[in-house]
Structure 1
């Protein structure tokens, strides 16, 4: 494999999750030194020599600033940030508890903002950076459930807080792309459709059948898209929200 990220230093948040782990391994195979961070210290990855686990609470500004400063001190730079930290949530607008709304927005949106904010200064100082945020098709299509056809789908698959948080991630991506473009820093997002992980084991079969590709996605599908956006020669692609959904939603 072409090691196009040789010499680059990357931070992946949510590294203990399925998508974060896949992104971590893809970046490491491409030659990057990867700091794989999560609230609970991630276990070792296959590319142990170039993957370094770290603890990070993405909802804490102090934690994000501390970790980025430590990365720069130890490795000399922070070239790549992939924000994969996030939580799933289910519930319609009519039934969602305020505490659940706050929890999801705090992790999925505020957490991305804080990591990006902490990473901006060292990237701007070096005149280079790649930021990739993990969004979601649900942040574009207002959710997969069709309650006008089947009320039970809303009960099983309604996820208003999650969708709003990911729509916020998409918009944050666009704002940062404009703010950082002149500094050599590209900011993009990957918007996955349903990805087969332990968190989506209850995805309704009726909705699974609506995916034109005939299958759910895999963490590797998302990782390949993120790797493309992290390439050093890909700086002219910025402000893009790249759909990885098997044709489930096209725009």
Structure 2
């Protein structure tokens, strides 16, 4: 049986944060191709129109609790349900711990960790009430491996790659996923995460070639490959998987 068919998510409604970015767009399109009605929300408008008629865009600032609550309430009011939440929205932060500014630490934690939690929190009562839900959070290999750079060999690698604030924010997403999975299990709601490795995108244009060469499969990942992992965890057939952080990293980190 092909679990990824065009009707797999028919009658399901999904909210994808960060929907205007590369991974968010790929996730939105993957869900829509399988029949879901998708609201792709982002702090800015997409640069071009979304490619599937089942997707609509909406402005959303995930650092503002009221904005999130209004977005979720609007979706439930319009469609009568909200079945899938995919938390893609986030920012990258680079450089060394020594030179990390407090304001940059706060910005990274507020968006990547607190914003993800606020989105999860907003959908919980709706998913509990309907007795069904899929939450998929975007973590990162950086939340597991202490960072890709090797500053003892080349300090410039750290200058160009994700820093401690980013790693802490994503490690927090991983453990938050575990907590919520246990809290929501009895309500028919699964909570999982996808932890990508380096993915080719506008955000990783300056990723050091010396680090790219360390990826065992020999290349950076694609947004479509991350979206495929999200789709797997959002599928009805994945109902016995919860609390998992699924690595999609080309073998750069195994646990």
TM-score scaled by structure 2?
A: 0.96
One of 182, 192, 196 as aligned partner of 2:196: 192
Residue segments in structure 2 that go unaligned for 5+ positions in a row: none
CA distance in 2, matches of 1:29, 1:221: 15
- Equivalent position of 2:29 in the other structure: 25
Provide Cα deviations, 1:102-140, integer angstroms capped at 9, x if missing partner: 011111011100000000011000000000000000000
CA distance in 2, matches of 1:158, 1:246: 18
- Equivalent position of 1:213 in the other structure: 217
Q: Secondary structure at the match of 2:238?
A: coil
Show structure 1 runs of 4+ deviating over 4 A.
none
In the alignment, structure 1 residue 35 sits paired with structure 2 residue 16: no
Contact 1:44 1:51 in 2 (8 A): no
The structural deviation recorded for 1:158 is: 4.7
- Equivalent position of 1:148 in the other structure: 152
One of 46, 54, 66 as aligned partner of 2:51: 46
In the alignment, structure 1 residue 157 sits paired with structure 2 residue 161: yes
Provide Cα deviations, 1:59-104, integer angstroms capped at 9, x if missing partner: 0110111110100000010000000000111121111000000011
In the alignment, structure 1 residue 178 sits paired with structure 2 residue 182: yes
- Equivalent position of 2:119 in the other structure: 115
CA distance in 1, matches of 2:159, 2:41: 33
Contact 2:142 2:162 in 1 (8 A): no
- Equivalent position of 2:19 in the other structure: 15
Q: Secondary structure at the match of 2:97?
A: coil
Tell me whether 109-118 or 34-43 shows the greater mean CA deviation: 34-43
Q: Secondary structure at the match of 2:32?
A: helix
Query: How big is the alpha-carbon RMSD for the aligned residues of Structure 1 and Structure 2?
Result: 0.9
TM-score scaled by structure 1?
A: 0.98
CA distance in 2, matches of 1:41, 1:68: 18
Aligned length: 250
CA distance in 2, matches of 1:52, 1:146: 42
